Amino acid sequence: MEIVAATNNAGKLKELRRNLEPMGYTLRTPRELGLDLDPEEDGTTFEANALIKARAFCEAAGMAVIADDSGLEVDALNGAPGVHSARWGGHHGDDEAKNVKLLAELAGVDRAARAARFVSAVCFCLPDGRYFTYLGTCPGWVDFAPKGTNGFGYDPIFVPDCTGTADGRRLPNTAGRSYAELEDWEKDAISHRGEALRVMQARLAEDLAAR
């Protein structure tokens, strides 16, 4: 199936393609279709923002769309940055500013109180108006300094509780590696986005048949 990815984020596009193509999807980017959209994500939940993006791109493209809204929830900050993750600490896409702000907010907070989780809401939307949303999470904690270069966003400061194996199993992250220190396959097996996409793969056919 050919679908449009409702994002211009290069890191997210790479991750979506890496996860979706083995599932049998052909991913088209907004740039390939000549789409220049930036819908206002004013929802109060990840699910609401994913739907906003999915509907906007679906209407413009006239074909199936997949949209992801994701972010980091930190317990010590009462769930912030949450749905504001993309613009936390500065302009949209300024990863370094976001990480600097988050680490400053957690200054003086010890390891035991730095629990956090990544959350992803993936929305699959069709031109006939049907849409389905799937959630994925990845628990972990916020490190004291950035580590690694293989990632984007908060990846260098987020340490997941587990890492993945080539056959999709989960192992304890005893080395304390950040998302950005993991190989792609290690991250995909345990990531919030990978989890949401696997839930979608398992349920989408049944959901489409039911509606």
Q: Which residues of the chain have pLDDT under 50?
A: none
Q: What six digits make up the tokens of 136? A: 């994925």
What confidence score (pLDDT) does residue 93 get?
A: 67
Distant-in-sequence, close-in-space partners of 156: CB < 8 Å, separation ≥ 6: 99, 146, 147, 148, 149, 178, 179, 180
126, with CB counted inside 10 A (0-12, 13-18, 19+), is middle
Q: For residue 199, report the phi and psi dihedrals to the nearest 5 degrees.
A: -65, -40
pLDDT digits (tens, 9 = 90+) for 77-98: 999 999 999 888 666 668 899 9
CB 63 within 8 A of CB 3: yes
Catalytic one of 68, 69, 155, 188 = 69
Query: 2-210 architecture in CATH?
Result: Alpha-Beta Complex (3.90)
Q: What's the pLDDT tens digit per position in 146-168?
A: 999 998 999 999 999 999 998 88
Distance CA 123, CA 65 (A): 8
What residues does each domain of the chain span? 2-210
Task: Please say if 69 is a catalytic residue.
Answer: yes
CB burial string 17-45: b at 16+ within 10 A, e below: ebbbeeeebebbbbeeeebeeebebebee
